[in-house]
């Protein structure tokens, strides 16, 4: 097995409801994840009750894959 050349060290804090704050290497500011629209509805969350709609982790995975 080849030598490991990189290990990503990420810290995630769960805040209120679906809101999570991620501390990512290479980012000077934390990144906020939550839900919006159809994703909120899928998880039985009324989008009107969200203080602020945010990109979900799924949105970031898709962006990273397409990038």
Question: 3-16: per-residue pLDDT in tens?
Answer: 999 999 999 999 98
User: Which residues have C-beta within 8 Å of that of residue 53, sequence separation ≥ 6?
Assistant: 34, 35, 36, 37, 40, 47
Q: Strand pairing of 11-14 and 20-23?
A: antiparallel
pTM over 0.85: no
Q: What pLDDT, in 10s, does the model give residues 31-41?
A: 999 999 889 99
């Amino acid at each position: 097995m080849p030598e490991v050349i990189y290990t990503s060290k990420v810290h995630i804090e769960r805040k209120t409801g679906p809101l999570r704050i991620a501390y990512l290497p290479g980012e000077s500011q934390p990144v906020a994840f939550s839900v919006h629209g159809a994703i909120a509805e899928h998880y039985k969350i009324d989008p009107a009750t969200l203080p602020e709609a945010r990109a979900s982790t799924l949105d970031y995975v898709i962006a990273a894959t397409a990038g």
